[in-house]
Structure 1
């Protein structure tokens, strides 16, 4: 997950596939998002599968409306792909292993950040030069300034050099991003053809060269539908700032879970969902025992790779079954290094870099006190897929080599290293939905369509996929569906 994005100042940013969008939320103004769910009719018994942000949001809103809710979570904690690393880091340092950035136009996320009193700070530092590493050449630029394209060994056309990164990005996607801002109908008819093209074909169709495609950082998309990429990029394009939660982003799912303490059953993976005329029964295992729970409605929030392992009776629609089996998930991995000294500061660098060898490098503790620091290598696409197949020791060695190429000196500074590969997580099967050519048209609306008493949520069912905002939006939508059903 993680295309590079050009903001209005021309500075490249990588935004997790994890993850970007306009300020339009299905044409609903923010004031409507703040309205509490009002129960329609008698209270319903609702079973929710999954305690990620989608399941937690649905549960919280339904409980607030007076419904009887039970959440079944396979793991021993809530949060899904929102995960913060603390132990065994020293000096109170922490770093994100999953969802990391909160654009200031993600109103579903910001609604609950504000409601739970969680303070935000900027994700990126305001001082230190940012680095861009392309074809073994590192170019540093002052905060807010683009790198000098002429220093890279890329064959830009004279027009592209004149446009700069920001201009090339606008030429590639500007018109499409404007269309994508209105998500009241999805996919939008004006962008239907983009679902039949790869990102590279779309960019070339806009008159840009292979060099521009490489400089814009679209390589991780590979066979991804251009419409899918446009949607992802549009989700943060109008944001003025990217933020994070003080103390770690897992404070958000923890705040939900704290208010749902007696509603969540942990260590309870669901194996079967069976519907009858009057309701729905979920079969799950806990402590080696098979158990069942019945409700009037069920909300299933598990990712497609996990959904494909759940038995449904009756079976899911053929199209939804195909989606669960065919939709590719973006590969993302994060390797965290605790270092005894923030050595990059000696050279006036921020510790943040965009690279063509892996993805991104973050100085994740730039706002945390102390001499020690953290560097995270954010592997995306093919580099993450390769790393996910390695042993932990091999992955650490590979990652050290990649960071050393950009910020020499890491090896002698390392005190601790570990990795998180979302491809290898049995309850995720990847980092985020990433539909290939033709799949948005085929599968997006089907992914969220209710089937009998079963409703569906999760970032993969939202046009805000890959972001916390998408998970929360989808959970809120499913809660309203159940409330009015």
Structure 2
């Protein structure tokens, strides 16, 4: 596909007139350029000094710093208000688009009168370039769609496929994509590889830009620096019978599965300096702080009383094969996991004992995690509390799937090419990337962005023409902080065959990462989440390993004596990733549709764009790749 050096770009601004001392919000027009948006207040005594509120839709926070001058034609200043945030548009404002030259162009917006001495009652637009006109046109279409009560698609109308539409197309035959000749995929995780693989099979010229030097994204198997062929999973690690898309590609790539290391473990708690087996909870009820009514309950009975049984009463929609958020489910999205458990009568001690079984909530953020997403997860086949023989791992390592897909399209994947800018106009999409010491730009009919939103926040989207809702989703989506430390031991010096400890220390979870390895050597994993992970992520690699060993010694005496070598992954620190998996917070339903909605020529995939209100799944990533195929066929 065409490639060129990046030409200089004009700087675009969007301006809305607003009443003094008030902040009027404007998501539609902030999304018009995606660079910076400005609110104009009425002039003071001098008509040449108008205060501005400057907001960055890209970063989600106002710019800070000293005053900056607008072009002299406007005789205005920027003024920074830290409390300003994007919101709902106010009809009293007046919208402008301006450029440095300040040269007027045709009027685009119906004039509105604004009662002030500022003399800004008329409405006009100063067009930046063709891309700006396209963005304005897309904006008008989105506004018209909403007024008509329809869904906003932006630009060329692309119907939003349902979860069942995608499954039917995947199991049958994807519709034709004959109107599309070239596609750029940003990211070579499972979503990007799955999309590129399917596009290549259909003869479409597809190019994948991957920032790192290897495929897989957050499906990462660590083989170095371990001995004797040992390896450990630093990212995704589980496949269940219900992972339809994952199981399909494993079969197509000729890969096998094996029993998961997370089930049938010798699970225990480490609380207040001692180990407590789940069947010994009653004997330690006082020191744990359980309520009187909880003293004789096993952990599984707590799960039944506070989780399973109440969730069954929510309604059958909670366990439907496809996810449809009903009013009852959306009500749950307004409260946190901790709050709903407390409402159901659970003590803090009981919540502490149940939390390790809330696998995808291991961000340690039950205070902010959505009860809706949690209830859906705990009612489905991915719940660790009900895990059994249907849980598997990929034999030989999770990275085997990503590497197998990458080999199928190896001439199309370009490693070490981080994307720094994405843009589009009426005719094409453009992707700028780093190529050693140069910035290059490639063009295509369509772009599929699979990078996590945590990393996408660092990509320039000022000319991407994204809606304000998309910018809001990019800014607002939360990712779990996780640090996984792996310590190679010369022998197994602990009594359990399949060690797994939930601790009340900073290292959170301790497990034997190689329970089925036949040799003497073992790998012990310390799995940190939440604030503890954020703290450990600030340490150097060497200090992080020493920190884990120091914390581990009281739990597993002899850890330092048996330690040989170690390594770790701090997902918050990983370039172009910056987080382990999405952590759905309260209000997550408001973001969900906007994470996956295509924007003109730009499509979005990845575990964060799933139909389900949870992430952290290889299956969700591959499903999202299939969804983009359906979207492209409808373009």
Choose the corresponding residue for 2:284, options 141, 146, 151.
Answer: 151
Distance 1:127 1:111, change over 3 A: closer
2:46 corresponding residue in structure 1: none
- 1:155 Cα offset (Å): 2.6
Distance 1:61 1:181, change over 3 A: farther
Choose the corresponding residue for 2:418, options 269, 273, 281.
Answer: 269
Choose the corresponding residue for 1:448, options 596, 615, 625.
Answer: 596
Distance 1:206 1:283, change over 3 A: same
1:227 corresponding residue in structure 2: 372
Matched, 1:181 2:319: yes
Choose the corresponding residue for 2:251, options 91, 109, 114.
Answer: 114
- 1:415 Cα offset (Å): 0.5
Gaps of 5+ in 2: 1-161, 359-363
Give the 3-state SS of the residue equivalent to 2:553 in structure 1.
helix
C-alpha RMSD of the superposition: 2.4
Asked whether the equivalents of residues 225 and 566 of structure 2 are also in contact (C-alpha less than 8 Å), the reply is no
- Deviation per CA, 1:65-111: give whole Å up to 9, x if none: 33221111111111101111112211111111111222332222122
Q: Which sits farther off after the overlay, 318-327 or 459-468?
A: 318-327
Matched, 1:84 2:221: yes
Distance 1:137 1:36, change over 3 A: farther
Counterparts of 2:481 and 2:417 in 1: how far apart (Å)?
26
Give the 3-state SS of the residue equivalent to 2:290 in structure 1.
coil
Counterparts of 2:257 and 2:432 in 1: how far apart (Å)?
39
Give the 3-state SS of the residue equivalent to 2:402 in structure 1.
helix
Q: Count residues in correspondence.
A: 454
Counterparts of 1:287 and 1:29 in 2: how far apart (Å)?
38
Gaps of 5+ in 1: 1-24
Choose the corresponding residue for 1:209, options 341, 347, 354.
Answer: 347
2:403 corresponding residue in structure 1: 254
1:160 corresponding residue in structure 2: 294
Distance 1:72 1:149, change over 3 A: farther
User: Taking CA–CA contacts closer than 8 Å with sequence separation of 6 or more, which of the two structures ends up with the larger relative contact order?
Assistant: 1
- Deviation per CA, 1:97-150: give whole Å up to 9, x if none: 111222332222122122212111112388773322233231246xxxx55343
Say which structure is richer in strand.
1
Matches within 5 A, 1:5-404: 26=163, 33-124=170-261, 129-140=266-277, 148-151=281-284, 153-174=287-308, 175-176=310-311, 179-182=317-320, 184-217=322-355, 219-234=364-379, 236-237=382-383, 239-240=387-388, 241-312=390-461, 313-344=463-494, 347-357=495-505, 358-404=507-553
Distance 1:137 1:188, change over 3 A: farther
Distance 1:264 1:126, change over 3 A: closer
Asked whether the equivalents of residues 177 and 632 of structure 2 are also in contact (C-alpha less than 8 Å), the reply is no
- 1:374 Cα offset (Å): 0.7
- Deviation per CA, 1:332-351: give whole Å up to 9, x if none: 1110011100111xx24422
Say which structure is richer in helix.
1
1:457 corresponding residue in structure 2: 605
Asked whether the equivalents of residues 232 and 465 of structure 1 are also in contact (C-alpha less than 8 Å), the reply is no
Asked whether the equivalents of residues 192 and 625 of structure 2 are also in contact (C-alpha less than 8 Å), the reply is yes
Counterparts of 2:238 and 2:337 in 1: how far apart (Å)?
23
- Deviation per CA, 1:140-198: give whole Å up to 9, x if none: 46xxxx55343352232344344422232233332437643336454332211221111
After TM superposition, the score normalised by the length of structure 1 is 0.87
Counterparts of 2:439 and 2:186 in 1: how far apart (Å)?
16
Distance 1:359 1:104, change over 3 A: farther
- 1:314 Cα offset (Å): 3.8
Give the 3-state SS of the residue equivalent to 1:222 in structure 2.
coil
- Deviation per CA, 1:290-338: give whole Å up to 9, x if none: 2121111111111112111122214422222122223221011110011
- Deviation per CA, 1:392-433: give whole Å up to 9, x if none: 233222211332232222110001011110011121111111
